[in-house]
Structure 1
Amino acid sequence: MEECAYVPGRCARPRLRHPGRMLIVIGGLPGTGKTTLARLLAARIGAVHLRVDTIEQAIVRSGLARHPVGPAGYTVGYALAAEHLQQGLTVIAESVNPLAVTRDAWREAGTGAGVRVVEVEVVCSDPAEHRHRLATRSCDIPGLPQPDWQQVLDRDYEPWARERVVVDTAGQDPRESLESLVHRLGERGGAEPGPR
Structure 2
Amino acid sequence: MPPPEKCPFLLILVGLPGTGKSTFAKHFVEHIPAVVLESDALRKTLVTQPVYTDTEHTRVFTAVHTLMAKLLKQKVSLVLDATSLTAKDREPLYKIASGAGVRNFVVEIDLPPEIIKKHLNERIQQGTSRSDADWEIYLQLRPKFEPVSGKCYRIKSESDFQPVLEYLIKDVKNYISQEECR
Contact 1:21–1:89 (CA under 8 A) maintained in structure 2: yes
Find 1:67's aligned residue among 52, 59, 69. 52
Q: Which one has the bigger helix percentage?
A: 2
Aligned residues: percent identity?
23
How does the TM-score come out when normalised to structure 1? 0.73
- SS at structure 2 position matched to 1:120: strand
Stretch moving more, 105-114 or 152-161: 152-161
Residue 115 of structure 1: aligned partner? 102
Q: CA deviation at 1:182?
A: 3.1
Query: 2:11 and 2:98 mapped to 1: Cα distance?
Result: 12
Unaligned runs of 5+ in 2: 175-182
- SS at structure 2 position matched to 1:190: helix
Are 1:180 and 2:164 matched, yes or no?
yes
Query: 1:80 and 1:163 mapped to 2: Cα distance?
Result: 25
1:180–1:159 Cα change, 3 Å: closer
Unaligned runs of 5+ in 1: 1-17
Q: CA deviation at 1:89?
A: 1.2
How does the TM-score come out when normalised to structure 2? 0.78
Q: How does 1:16-55 map to 2 (within 5 A)?
A: 20-55=7-42
1:67–1:153 Cα change, 3 Å: closer
Find 2:93's aligned residue among 73, 89, 106. 106
Query: 2:34 and 2:57 mapped to 1: Cα distance?
Result: 27
Contact 2:6–2:75 (CA under 8 A) maintained in structure 1: no
Q: CA deviation at 1:185?
A: 5.3
RMSD: 2.3
Residue 128 of structure 1: aligned partner? 114
Query: 2:132 and 2:12 mapped to 1: Cα distance?
Result: 23
Contact 2:72–2:78 (CA under 8 A) maintained in structure 1: yes
Query: 1:49 and 1:178 mapped to 2: Cα distance?
Result: 19
Deviations 1:66-101 (A, max 9, x none): 323222222211111111111121111110111212
Residue 191 of structure 1: aligned partner? 173
Q: Which has the larger radius of gyration?
A: 1
Deviations 1:19-63 (A, max 9, x none): 7101111110111111111122123211000001111122212x7
